[in-house]
Amino acid sequence: MIIGLHAVQISVADVDSAAADYQRILGKSPASKHVDGEITSVDFVLDNTILRLVASSAPLGLERLDFLVADVNYWRSRLGRIGIAVDETQSDDTLLVIEQLSARGLGLALTQVESSPSDASSEDASNLRGLDHAVIASSNGDLTAALLGAKLQLDMRLDLTNPEWDARLIFFRCGDLIVEVFQSLSKDISDPSDTFFGLTWRTADIESSHTRLTDLGVDVSTVRQGRKLGTEVFTIRSHTHGVPTLVLGTTNNAALNPS
C-alpha cells in the first residue's frame, strides 16, 4: 500500500525567487537545496510532506506527486503486471516515475525512503503546517478513480456529486491527507488527460495566517466558510508560481484529519 505523500513537486523558472515566495507563504525556511547537474531544487519540510521546488526552463506549476511506499521493488513488479509503464530515464533503485501516458497525463511517482518527512519544530500558529488536499482535475472521474484506487491502491473515502457546484468530487485518503479528484459535470468526457488543479494547506490558526500573509504583502481573499462543516478557508492569489492555492483552518482539530 501507499503510505503517504512523500513530496509535492512544483516546477518554477527561478528556484531562488520561488523559494523566497514560499518561505513567505509557509512561514518557514527551506530545509535544503540540491544541485544535481543542471537541475536545482529546494525542499521545504512540513508535518506530512515535502514541498519541492525544481528549476525548469518550461515551468509547469504543480508538476508531480511522489507517493511514499515501503517496498519499491514490489511496486516495480506490480506496475508491470497491471500495465503501467515506468520512465526508466527518471527512475532509480528508490524512485519509480510513472510514464505520463500510463498516468492519464499526470506526473506521478513512487519512492522508498528511510523515513517520512516530519517537521516537529515549535512554530508560530500562523505558519502553514502541512498539506490537506492535492487536487486533480479530471475529464473522466471513473477512469481517474480506477488509476488511483484500483491500480495504485489508494483508499477511496467518498464519491460525491453536487450539481450546485457543477462537480463530482472523489476523495482518496493518502496518509493523513487527501488526494481529491474534481470533475466538472457540465463538460463533455472527451479529453483523455487529467491535470493537477491545486493545493490546500493546513493552518492551526486561520485568522493569524491571514493576517501574517496580508502584512507580508501576499494577495489573499477574505476568510470564508469552507465546504466541510466547521472549516474556514481563504485563497492565496499571489506568490504561488502558478499553483491555485487555498489555506484551510478549523476550530475542530479533528476536521483537519480526513476520516
In whole angstroms, give the CA distance from residue 23 to residue 212: 12
pLDDT for 227:
87
In whole angstroms, give the CA distance from residue 38 to residue 90: 14
In whole angstroms, give the CA distance from residue 128 to residue 123: 9
Q: Which residues have a Cβ under 8 Å from the Cβ of 143 and sit 6 or more positions away?
A: 104
Q: Which residues have a Cβ under 8 Å from the Cβ of 18 and sit 6 or more positions away?
A: 10, 12, 42, 53, 241
Residue 80 carries which DSSP code?
Answer: H
Residue pair 97/109 in contact (Cβ under 8 Å)? The answer is yes
Q: What pTM was estimated for this model as a whole? A: 0.91
pLDDT for 255:
45
Residue pair 232/226 in contact (Cβ under 8 Å)? The answer is yes
Delimit the domains of the chain by residue range: 2-111, 128-256
Three cell numbers written together for 225: 466558510
pLDDT for 115:
67
pLDDT for 228:
87
Name the nearest CA neighbour of 157 among 175, 170, 144, 141: 170
pLDDT for 120:
52
In whole angstroms, give the CA distance from residue 43 to residue 152: 25
pLDDT for 1:
87
Residue pair 62/137 in contact (Cβ under 8 Å)? The answer is no
CATH topology of domain 2-111: 2,3-Dihydroxybiphenyl 1,2-Dioxygenase; domain 1 (3.10.180)
Show pLDDT as tens, one digit a residue, over the chain (259 residues): 899 999 999 999 999 999 999 999 999 999 999 998 888 999 999 999 999 999 999 888 999 999 999 999 999 999 999 999 999 999 999 999 999 999 999 999 999 987 655 655 557 899 999 999 999 999 899 999 999 999 999 999 999 999 999 999 999 999 999 999 999 999 877 777 899 999 999 999 999 999 999 999 999 999 999 988 899 999 999 999 999 999 999 865 444 444 4
pLDDT for 25:
98
CATH topology of domain 128-256: 2,3-Dihydroxybiphenyl 1,2-Dioxygenase; domain 1 (3.10.180)
Residue pair 69/3 in contact (Cβ under 8 Å)? The answer is yes
Name the nearest CA neighbour of 235 among 208, 210, 204: 210
Name the nearest CA neighbour of 113 among 52, 170, 66: 66
pLDDT for 258:
45
pLDDT for 259:
43
